[in-house]
Amino acid sequence: MNRTTLILFFIILSNTITVIHGYVRGCYYTNWAQYRDGEGKFLPGNIPNGLCTHILYAFAKVDELGDSKPFEWNDEDTEWSKGMYSAVTKLRETNPGLKVLLSYGGYNFGSVIFTGIAKSAQKTERFIKSAIAFLRKNNFDGFDLDWEYPVGVAEEHAKLVEEFAADYWASKGMPKEKIIIGIPMYAQGWTLDNPSETAIGAAASRPSSASKTNPAGGTASYWEICKYLKEGGKETVHQEGVGAYMVKGDQWYGYDNEETIRIKMKWLKEKGYGGAFIWALDFDDFTGKSCGKGPYPLLNAISSELEGESENPEITTEEPSITETEAYDTDETEETSETEAYDTDETEETSETEETTYDTDVTEGQECPEPDGLFPHPTDCHLFIQCSNNNAYVKQCPATTFFNEAIKACDHMTNAPDTCQ
């Protein structure tokens, strides 16, 4: 994602983000990757054991009053089953040094609610108390505040978190060991205007075609890039820019591979930064079947450079028990202002829509055409039905968007049919 403003804060209860004997290796887990079909489906059981020092669970939300809320129907435990929160925090049983954080916000959440909270001392206090209670209830170690867009909100953002870390904000500079460098596990893609002109800077007037991880186009996971290479794509490593790009027909993708990541990790250590975080686990070749280099080739490159060789990571296999009866009702309508679907830790400007889900309400009376998938709402083009195990969940697209059945994502109203107002 090309972020105009990216403000990330790792706030650890009763601890510090700095790993005493090593570098931070933060890994985002996305709670919507569970809905992908086939090889892209990602569950807590796919998270590697030992490659990450911190797991950041994306995303939770906060309402306009400052109260914390889960985002997905199966995030929290119910009377009938353990939720995804528990499945991820349980990983500490086999990795006692692991910290599991809950990430609030994200690209699709927008900035309206965060800005409103930051401007109100009462709402700020309520959010702080709510966050602490919510984290403790669900057994998290801390939280990550992922506040994006618009530019120029730093002062209000500082007000929001100063009660957590007043001494830090009073300082005149952030120590380098506290700065964590972001590394994408995905590629940014464009469609070339002239397929014979492929160098960096070649003209491209629209995003790349749809990928399995982004039906709207504009991005592709690293495991998809490996597949494109096997299908005839040509990879070039740009030494000066320390990045790789691949061309396959008129499709152009820029990304990091193992080689460029190792170079960047050496740079990170030379500069004295505190570590790296990735977006996201489900975009690396987590099965090891696409690139042919074992599970998590990119994350292993980070780990081996920062902590020494870490080959053949143990992959946990236990998955959460998910009930097939009606599940958790968030009972909340979320106010959002940004329009995009599918979030990469760095989702692209070239990607107009993405596959992330939005506001969740469990609604009786709706039927699933198929057991799993996204489907249009029968009466409201701004809503869609998310089906999981034949349970129907009505969700609302962000403001100024509609559900585009063709791409299975929320899309800008400029692309809406005349019947959708």
**Which amino acid makes up residue 121?**
A
Angstrom CA distances, 308 to 23, 52, 189, 414, stand at 11, 13, 32, 51
| Cβ contact 293:195 at 8 Å | no
Give the integer Cα–Cα distance in Å for 87 and 252: 37
What DSSP element (H or E) covers 97? none
Give the integer Cα–Cα distance in Å for 287 and 296: 7
Give the integer Cα–Cα distance in Å for 49 and 299: 12
**DSSP bridge partners of 104:** 60, 145
Cα dihedral sign, 299-305-307-311: positive
Spatial neighbors of 93 by CB under 8 A, at least 6 apart, are none
Give the integer Cα–Cα distance in Å for 81 and 3: 37
Q: Residue 234 class from Cβ within 10 Å (0-12 exposed, 13-18 middle, 19+ buried)?
A: exposed
Collapsing DSSP to helix, strand or coil, 409 comes out as: strand
CA 50 to chain centre: 20
Catalytic residue among 64, 93, 125, 148: 148
Residues across the chain: 421
Q: Residue 16 class from Cβ within 10 Å (0-12 exposed, 13-18 middle, 19+ buried)?
A: exposed
Active site residue 148: yes
**Which amino acid makes up residue 405?**
E
DSSP string for 217-264? SSEEEHHHHHHHHHTT-EEEEETTTTEEEEEETTEEEEE--HHHHHHH
Tokens of 71: 């985002």
User: Active-site positions?
Assistant: 148
